[in-house]
């Protein structure tokens, strides 16, 4: 009787330069710091990548430690399903969950969507992000991207009405999503919503701070509003009724593909539109999210497009069209 070889875990922090800089209401950065997990068994290795989110108190070092703490349970046979209860949602669990999914697919010699009984991913259009800046700077950046069908505009509070008007003038034919990253207030909400409606914006992400968004239930919303920082996993969905029209699913928030798929199913059942989002990261982070993108109304998986370079075997981007991952990358 042959015993099953144990699993070994390898983790590391990687740094990927951003092309220029990436600016949102909470600050700017010039590199993407990711944490990679590799789970090996029987000569096969599965990979996953995550981006620790400072907004939730995550750091690369703490994320690395949380992943390394699972080395012994993984060696004893902890699988992807048991992982959900063994770790809290967040970046560390995401990398391990995606690595185990990749390992599962490679060991079976099948694509992960077949093993999960999900539709095979097909090409889809991703948003392209315009960083926060002055109206003139954002208009200049928008003009360079005006050929793209869907733009995501980072806003930041004071002056947002001017920013969105300048962006719309620079890209008259593009669909626009705006992301305030919790920077608006109850006092500025109505005026900013009206400015977005005037500009033909199709979606507004997280206008008010999470935990202080009650005003969304009391005001007429002329543009659909999407929860981002206010939503994490399935447990947070029910409290969003009446305030939001859509939810932004990010694997670093849900703690991996396993919960993200279940969350997408639950959100649609409640009546929410689905947005699949990302942090600035390589194609290894985007690849699992392509399974969610198949049922998403809004796709925002442009992370690799914002980097100076991507990893080997990265996703294929043809303009704003994103193609499913090759097995050499993931899944």
Annotated catalytic sites, by residue?
A: 154, 250
Residue 233's H or E segment, with its range, is none
Annotate 102-132 with b (16+ C-beta within 10 A) or e (fewer): bbbbbeeeebbbeebebeebeebbbbbbbbb
List, in sequence order, the alpha helices (H) in 79-185.
80-86, 91-108, 112-115, 135-144, 160-170
Written as six digits, the tokens of 280 are: 């600035």
Concatenated DSSP letters of 52-77: --GGGT--HHHHHHHHHTTHHHHHTT
Q: What is the dihedral of CA 20, 22, 25, 27, to 10 degrees?
A: -80
Task: Give residue 155's region: left, alpha or beta (phi > 0; psi -120 to 50).
Answer: beta
Angle at which helices 135-144 and 160-170 pack, to 10 degrees? Answer: 30
Q: Which residue has the tokens 């798929």?
A: 261
Residue 309's contacts (CB-CB under 8 Å, 6 or more residues apart) are: 16, 17
Eight-class DSSP state of 245: S
């Amino acid at each position: 009787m042959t015993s099953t070889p144990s699993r070994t875990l390898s983790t590391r922090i990687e740094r990927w330069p951003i092309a220029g800089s990436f600016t949102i209401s909470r600050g700017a950065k010039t590199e993407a710091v990711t944490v990679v997990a590799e789970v090996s068994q029987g000569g096969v290795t599965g990979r996953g990548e995550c981006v620790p989110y400072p907004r939730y108190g995550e750091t690369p070092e703490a994320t690395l430690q949380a992943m390394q703490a699972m080395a012994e349970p993984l060696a004893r046979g902890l699988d992807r399903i048991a992982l959900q209860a063994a770790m809290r949602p967040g970046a560390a669990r995401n990398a391990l969950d995606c690595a185990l999914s990749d390992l599962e697919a490679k060991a079976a010699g099948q694509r992960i969507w077949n093993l999960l009984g999900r539709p095979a991913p097909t090409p889809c259009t991703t948003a392209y992000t315009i960083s926060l800046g002055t109206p003139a700077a954002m208009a200049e950046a928008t003009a360079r991207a005006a050929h793209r069908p869907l733009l995501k505009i980072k806003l930041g509070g004071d002056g947002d009405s001017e920013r969105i008007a300048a962006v719309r003038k620079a890209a008259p034919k593009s669909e626009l999503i705006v992301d305030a990253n919790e920077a608006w207030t109850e006092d500025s909400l109505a005026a900013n919503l009206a400015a977005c409606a005037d500009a033909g914006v199709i979606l507004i992400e997280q206008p008010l701070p999470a935990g202080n968004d009650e005003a969304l239930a009391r005001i007429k919303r002329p543009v659909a509003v999407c929860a981002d920082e206010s939503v994490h996993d399935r447990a947070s969905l029910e409290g969003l009724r009446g305030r939001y029209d859509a939810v932004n699913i990010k694997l670093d928030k849900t703690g991996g593909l396993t919960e993200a798929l279940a969350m997408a199913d639950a959100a649609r059942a409640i009546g929410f539109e689905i947005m699949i989002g990302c942090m600035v990261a390589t194609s290894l982070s985007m690849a699992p999210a392509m399974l969610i993108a198949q049922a998403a109304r809004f796709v925002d998986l442009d992370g690799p497009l914002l980097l100076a370079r991507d990893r080997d075997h990265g996703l294929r981007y043809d303009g704003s069209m994103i193609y499913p991952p090759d097995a050499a990358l993931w899944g």
